[in-house]
Amino acid sequence: MQSETKAAISPEILKPLIIRSLRRSSVRKKIAEYLFEISPSGSYTSEIAFSVKTTPTNVIGAIRGMNSRYRDDESLISLQLVEQIDGGKHRDIKLYRLTDFGKQIVEGLRDNKKRF
């Protein structure tokens, strides 16, 4: 039932939650920016971790959530910024890429940085 509620939340309502989530975690923000740079391609956990200089465990937590350290409701997937895509013939590999909504958010953050 909770997933139905999340699907019904409009992007406009999510924006303040997204900004708060990205401000609270530099790892989430770095992952979103990295996925923006390689967009429209996706990447796997270890490559993302190497690129943003953190551990794969932190990447998984930021993308999918991990108990209290990375809250599930503030994960990049829950906030509709990142999606998990099919690994093709390598089905055991999980690839992640930025959604179109995620691209809009990262572009907005970059525009705000340029103003100040």
Measure the CA–CA gap between 116 and 113, rounded to whole angstroms: 6
Q: Which of 51, 27, 19 is nearest to 38 (CA)?
A: 51
pLDDT tens-digit readout, 72-113: 888 999 999 999 997 667 677 889 999 999 999 999 888 776
* Phi, psi angles (nearest 5°) of residue 91: -65, -20
Mean pLDDT of all residues in 32-52: 94
For residue 2, pLDDT beyond 60: no
Q: Which of 40, 48, 29 is nearest to 93 (CA)?
A: 48
Measure the CA–CA gap between 11 and 101, rounded to whole angstroms: 8
For residue 15, pLDDT beyond 50: yes
Mean pLDDT of all residues in 50-70: 91
Mean pLDDT of all residues in 19-31: 90
Domains of the chain with CATH codes: 2-115 (1.10.10.10)
In this structure, are strands 95-98 and 43-44 parallel, antiparallel, or unpaired? antiparallel
Output the pTM of the full model.
Answer: 0.84
Q: What is the pLDDT of residue 90?
A: 66
